[in-house]
Amino acid sequence: MSEEKTGKKRKKSHPKKFKVAAQDSVSIPNLNNGNNLEAIKTVTSSSSLQVKDGHSTNPYLFGRKYTVSVALPGSIIDNAQSNELKTYLAGQLARSFAIFNVDEVVIFNEARWKDNAVASGGANKEGKRGEDKHISSDPNVFLARILQYLETPQYLRKALFPMHKDLQYAGLLNPLDCSHHFRQEEKTPYREGVVISKVPKGGKGSLVDAGLNKNVIIDRSLKPGIRVTLQIDNFDTINEGKLSNYIQAKVISPKTPREQCGLYWGYQIRLANSISKVFTECPYTDGYDVSIGTSERGQPIDLVIEEIPEFRHLLIVFGGLGGLELAIDADEDLKCGGDEADALFDLWVNTCPHQGSRTIRTEEAILISMSSLQSAIKKKGKND
């Protein structure tokens, strides 16, 4: 990110090259990251809200409607030399996404990895990945699995993640310490759980393991093994005949804690087979209304940060070892080449001009860029 463009800045509207597949709703995000635990405990209590000069002092009262998505190539995992280092790299990324309240992580196939596995240092004809025979042959899947594992509350991992070689060193990673990673004794209005196979005594509804000392009962019959977001208004067990010894709760959308209370409730993971599919398979009905591409050939962030328009769904895209230009060149669905990469985005930025190192790794670029954009994101995100 060392080259600085000069000359007159040109404004670009959002490219219409992609037809977004309309969907009724966003698929359930699985990662729940959070803010202050005390804020979560008191956010639903009207008595806890204090007003000063006509304004509430509770920062989570009004909710957050906008979303932030980050897209990156899974091929960066192949830059690590061992299974331990690959796992640690994925853990670094997970921490970054949690710290900066990323709602969606899109892992895209940078160079048709499956079709060019040997050339890109991936799997050979026997499906083995070099000397590392104990991990996924696809780096995109490997990265997604580690990110998903770290996002999941500890008390749900055994039920949701069977033994897998990709997770061999996941226990050594730094925890995300998210707000949904509750301890058993913590009583909060929102909680994650997994539907279990045990049938309720009354025969109606489903039982959910939410990491509490008692099972939770919901009024919907769901398939065992499904992860759900719960709202629990009362932690006292029901004392009504066959339903006794259960805690009652209702299933809510995982977007509710964010939209209603402003709590960061984790990121959703999506795999895309190419960079164009990052856009065309967008889960939001109207697509991403603002997209930012990062490159050392972009305009310095200080010159363009005020040009970021208001948004409902923001997408920030990072390249791998060869930059975004490589991924665009490899995408057969795009009519432009890597030398026209800036035309695909509303903003084409360099978030670290005058860098002291010749190269900036993707995991470093994410930290630098998200830090540089934080104030603008909070200012331009729409909550109406």
> Nearest 5°: phi and psi at 15?
-65, 140
Contact 167, 90 (CB under 8 A): no
* H/E element, 248: strand 247-248
Report the pLDDT value the prediction gives residue 241, as an integer from 0 to 100. 59
Beta strands at 347-350 and 206-209: parallel, antiparallel or unpaired: unpaired
Helix (H, G, I), strand (E, B) or coil at 154: helix
Mean pLDDT per 10-residue section of the chain, whose length is 384 residues: 44 43 35 39 36 41 89 94 94 96 95 46 39 68 96 93 94 88 84 92 86 90 94 80 78 92 90 94 95 93 93 96 88 84 92 89 95 95 89
User: CA–CA separation, 77 vs 135, rounded Å?
Assistant: 11
Identity of the residue numbered 337:
G
Q: Order of strands, edge to edge, in the sheet holding 67-73?
A: 268-272, 104-108, 67-73, 313-317, 290-300, 347-350
Beta strands at 290-300 and 313-317: parallel, antiparallel or unpaired: parallel
Identity of the residue numbered 116:
N
Contact 308, 290 (CB under 8 A): yes
Q: What share of the chain is helix, strand, coil (3-state, %, to 5)?
A: 30, 20, 50
Identity of the residue numbered 355:
Q
Nearest to 362 by CA among 294, 313, 299, 298: 294
Identity of the residue numbered 171:
G
Report the pLDDT value the prediction gives residue 3, as an integer from 0 to 100. 43
User: CA–CA separation, 336 vs 320, rounded Å?
Assistant: 19
Report the pLDDT value the prediction gives residue 306, as an integer from 0 to 100. 92
Contact 171, 142 (CB under 8 A): no
pLDDT per position as a tens digit, 136-155: 678 999 999 999 999 999 99
pLDDT per position as a tens digit, 114-143: 444 433 333 333 334 444 455 667 899 999
* DSSP string covering 10-60: ---PPP----PPP-SSPPPP-----S-HHHHHHTT-GGG--EETTEES-TT
* H/E element, 275: helix 275-280
CA terminus-to-terminus distance, the chain: 35
- Report residue 125 CA to chain centroid gap: 33
User: CA–CA separation, 217 vs 250, rounded Å?
Assistant: 8
Report the pLDDT value the prediction gives residue 237, as an integer from 0 to 100. 78
Beta strands at 216-218 and 206-209: parallel, antiparallel or unpaired: antiparallel
Beta strands at 216-218 and 313-317: parallel, antiparallel or unpaired: unpaired
Of all residues in the chain, the percent with pLDDT exceeding 90 is 53
Contact 89, 363 (CB under 8 A): yes
Report the pLDDT value the prediction gives residue 278, as an integer from 0 to 100. 96
Report the pLDDT value the prediction gives residue 363, as an integer from 0 to 100. 95
